[in-house]
Amino acid sequence: MQTLLTAEQLSEGIDRLARDVRQACGDGPLTVVGVLTGSVVVVSDLIRRLDGPVRLSMVWASSYRGTATRPGRLDLRLDLLPDLTGQHVLLVDDIFDSGRTLDAILADLRGRGAASVRSLVLLRKQGRAEVSIQPDFVGFDIPDLFVVGYGLDYDGAWRHLPHVATLDANDLTPGGTEPAVAPPG
């Protein structure tokens, strides 16, 4: 495992994101919608830096299954959302990979009568987008590597790391015996 982004770099990135969001959205009420589970760390750090009134709601999405590192079928649960009519909404996720998660949730949010809907991701993987949309705010562009930490997991592990790290082939092989990862594509 190798550190890709240190806790200090992440902290500076969140500061910058919070400033950019307030500059674009103004100082009024903002409804932050986090995507469970990977966004919990970025959401909790971000909302404490967003000066001014903030409401928080969460949705749930999963496109990863166990030890796979490429997306599978996308499951969404949006039933916890409050009434968004007239609200300025900021959708927050950990990473923009294929973009299918953000694209699908944004499409739903845009049908709920919000005054505005924007999106923010901590990380964006280079050369992976399968959708035409891009997030409004991006913390860091990273190479096409599987990463963990600061909310991001591999098979449920590593979310608690204070930094973002890349996983080596060894880390992807439970027990170090046989490859657990399907080839890309």
User: Would you please indicate which residues are annotated as catalytic (active-site) residues?
Assistant: 97
Which residue from 34, 38, 99, 139 is in contact with Mg ion, where contact means CB under 5 A? 38
Smallest distance from ligand IMP to CB 54, Å: 21
Which residue from 55, 100, 112, 159 is in contact with ligand IMP, where contact means CB under 6 A? 100
Which residue from 58, 91, 92, 101 is in contact with ligand IMP, where contact means CB under 6 A? 101
d(CA 126, CA 123): 10
Task: Please tell me whether residue 98 binds ligand IMP under the rule CB under 6 A.
Answer: yes
Smallest distance from ligand IMP to CB 71, Å: 4
Task: Please tell me whether residue 71 binds ligand IMP under the rule CB under 6 A.
Answer: yes
d(CA 152, CA 165): 10
Q: How many residues bind Mg ion (CB under 5 A)?
A: 1
Smallest distance from Mg ion to CB 2, Å: 22
* Residue entry with tokens 């001014």: 52
Nearest to 18 by CA among 60, 51, 44: 51
Phi, psi torsion values for 10, nearest 5 degrees: -65, -40
d(CA 109, CA 122): 20
Residue closer to ligand IMP (CB basis): 22 or 159: 159
Residue 110 contacts by C-beta under 8 Å, 6 or more apart in sequence?
117
d(CA 113, CA 28): 18
Amino acid at 116: S
Binding interface with Mg ion (CB under 5 A): 38
Interface ranges with ligand IMP (CB under 6 A): 35, 38, 63-64, 71, 93-101, 146-148, 152-153
